[in-house]
Structure 1
Amino acid sequence: MALGSNTKFYETPNHPYQGERIAEESGLIGKYGLKNKEELWRTQSELRGYRREARKLLGRGAGNTDVTDREAAEFLARLQRIGVLGEADSLDTVLALDVTDILERRLQTVVYRQGLGNTVQQARQFISHGHITIDGQQVREPGYTVSVAEEDAVSFTSQSPLTDELHPERAEDQ
């Protein structure tokens, strides 16, 4: 790694001791089963990047419209592919996105929502212990962004003891 290269891909809050922000962050960490605030800050930075790109594309509308329209279409298609936006959404919708829209696309949340884990914490444990696959590929990263096409392909690995319906850790409603 070269000296001076930036390895931190998130921004910390400007004012670290704001009670309201701390309470909001703690609520999101509990709801989505995040390990620490760094995971939340990464997601917030990702959202800021999406908004920055949308503002740039909206502001560039006066220039070369063919290039801008193509870039905007590619940007919207990428966000639709990962499930953050719907088919009919526009660049203005990107500016209205919330951090929860991105947190809902995490593998950990998808595993929990599909009922493969009883809690988001258990879903995180199943992922990190190698019990979850996407299209037959083992994924051990709870923060992996699941695309819409991959969502139905999330399942237990064939070697996992959790594939047994009677396993005591399996969700009750399956």
Structure 2
Amino acid sequence: MPLGSKTKAYETPNHPFQGERISSEHDLLGRYGLKNKEELWRAQSELRSFRREARELLGRTQGDAEAAGREGEEFLERLKRYGILDDTDGLDDILSLEINDVLERRLQTIAYRRGLANTPQQARQFIVHGHVVVGDRRVSVPSYKVEVDEEESVEFDETSPLADELHPERAEEQ
């Protein structure tokens, strides 16, 4: 087993008992249907790494601007492909990203927003139970990051009983 495979993919808060932070975390857990705070902390750590990389690239543009420019373009393209940034955004805009920008790109959230489920929690259950496909692949990971061009292909698996429009658990049409 590789040495790095046992490390945590997130950092816990420095001050565990802050009422304001706890209530905002609880609100996010409910709004996005997250299973526990670990999932939220993982998304926060991902956002922190985006910001760190953007700061490093911005700092390097003062030195070797050409090399930093290439790396910066690749980084920006990746974030734009996932829909975290808009097409007009630059490296400076990464520093103003919020946790919601990262959580909105999860498969669980997109399945809920597309109307596949009545609640984010139900969307999570449908995904974990294998009822949701992205393109032609069945994805059973609620935290899967959906690219912008994949977003339209998020739907129920055709072999799933939920593919039937009359299934009682299907979301009500708005």
Unaligned runs of 5+ in 2: none
Question: What's the offset of the Cα at 1:5?
Answer: 5.7
**Percentage of matched positions with identical amino acids:** 62
TM-score by length of 2: 0.97
> How far 1:171 sits from its partner (Å)?
0.9
Distance 1:104 1:62 in 2: 33
Aligned to 2:81: 81
Q: TM-score, normalised by structure 1?
A: 0.97
Aligned to 2:125: 125
Cα 1:5–1:135 shift into 2, 3 Å: closer
Per-residue deviation, 1:2:
4.9
Distance 1:4 1:125, change over 3 A: closer
Q: Which runs of 5+ in 1 are unaligned?
A: none
Runs of 4+ in 1 over 3 A off after TM superposition: 2-6
| 1-structure distance, mates of 2:117, 2:5 | 38
Distance in 2, Cα, partners of 1:118 & 1:110:
12
- How many residues matched? 174
Inter-CA distance 3–88: structure 2 relative to 1 (3 Å threshold):
closer
SS at match of 2:133: strand
* C-alpha distance in 2 between matches for 1:120 and 1:173: 16
Q: Given the superposition, is the C-alpha separation of residues 122 and 17 from structure 1 closer, same or farther in structure 2, using an over 3 Å criterion?
A: same
**Given the alignment of the two structures, is residue 35 of structure 1 paired with residue 51 of structure 2, yes or no?**
no
Residues 1:56 and 2:56 are matched in the alignment: yes
Q: Corresponding residue for 2:17?
A: 17
Give the whole-Å Cα distance in 2 for the aligned partners of 1:4 and 1:72.
27
Cα distance between partner residues in 2 of 1:5 and 1:132: 28
Which residue of 1 is the match for residue 168 of structure 2? 168
